[in-house]
Amino acid sequence: MPIITPSCLALGVLFPQITGHFLPFVTILFAFMTFQGSLGSDFRQVARVFRHPLPMIVILLLLHVWIPCLARFIGGVAFGFDKSLVAGIVLEYVVPTGIVSFMWVSIYRGNGALTLSTILIDTVLAPIFVPVSLQILLGTSVQINAVDMMKDMAFMVAVPAVLGMAVNHLSHGRANTTVKPALAPFSKLALILVVSGNSSRVAPFIRHLTPTLVGVALLILCIAASGYLWGWLAAKLLHQPRETLISMTYNSGMRNISAGAVLAGAYFPAEVMFPVMIGTLFQQVLASLYGLLIKKKFGEAVEDADKNRQASA
């Protein structure tokens, strides 16, 4: 992932006349990606997490209150002269947590049930969270069609997520072991098409970088890095176990940037796309770096968890 997503961004920037043809299909492709990713979940996992919901509530507050407000404040102070750039910075940090966070949590033996439940709840609530957050944080400075945005978010994430869970539940988990792996190559292809297609819209800005755009990229990098840190600190303050700390770190730091890019392309001027898409350069690399920190601090515990899992298998 640290290689694939930046490569797709480069592909879209270098060959926008080709990758731009994917734009009409990004919404359908993204819905398919959400469905495939949700086939590994079921309603019982969500029910278990709801018995002890504090970590998930804290993650959602970080994702949709603290970090977006921080992005709006810093973005407004630094780039208040350009409403489109501020809108892009805010949009980057109001979209749901990234589905790929489950991959990183699995690698470092975090709390998989918490991560899956947070992804699913956040995804299902995205049609409400995203338009309302944008309306509150941006106000009248940017015109937003909240109703249409809710419909698109429901089509892209909420409905496919619930459908994927339902299929897995009704199949008694067989969808997770058979259908999901079978669809995985097509989901990866869809990711390539979505990222490269959306990247075609930022090609003019990246090819003609200005000091302002470089400043925006650095701001996105700093806020993205802080997202993981806020999750880590919150888990420490709540005295959560290692598994939960890992999940809170990745769920708080990772964003569904592809969803943000689709919304930017549908509802905002082209300039809004730059802050959103530039995040693809940083997110997976930052996830890798935080993984090194986790391994350094919890290395033995992670290895023991891995051995125990292999022994039980």
Domains annotated on the chain, with CATH: 4-305 (1.20.1530.20)
Q: In the prediction, which pLDDT does 146 show?
A: 63
CB-CB contact of 19 with 203 (8 Å): no
CB-CB contact of 248 with 101 (8 Å): no
Token digits of residue 158: 């909420």
CB-CB contact of 249 with 294 (8 Å): yes
Coil vs helix vs strand at 284: helix
CA distance between the termini of the chain? 27
Q: In the prediction, which pLDDT does 162 show?
A: 84
Inter-CA distances, 171 with 31, 161, 167, Å: 21, 16, 6
- Global pTM value: 0.77
Cα Rg of the chain (Å, integer) = 19
Report residue 255: phi and psi, to 5°. Answer: -125, 155
Q: In the prediction, which pLDDT does 78 show?
A: 94
Coil vs helix vs strand at 239: coil
Token digits of residue 103: 């991959």
Q: Which residues pair with 97 in a beta bridge?
A: 255
Q: What is the mean pLDDT of each run of 10 residues along the chain (313 residues)?
A: 73 85 84 82 78 94 96 95 92 88 81 83 84 85 66 79 87 89 88 80 80 94 96 96 95 88 83 85 84 85 55 44
Q: In the prediction, which pLDDT does 311 show?
A: 47
Q: In the prediction, which pLDDT does 250 show?
A: 96
Task: Give how far the C-alpha of residue 43 lies from the chain's centroid of Cα atoms, to the nearest Å.
Answer: 21
Q: In the prediction, which pLDDT does 302 show?
A: 58
Residue 33 identity (one-letter amino acid): M
**Rounded to 5°, angle at Cα 47 from 239 and 160:** 115
Q: In the prediction, which pLDDT does 304 show?
A: 58
Token digits of residue 43: 């309603």
Q: In the prediction, which pLDDT does 256 show?
A: 85
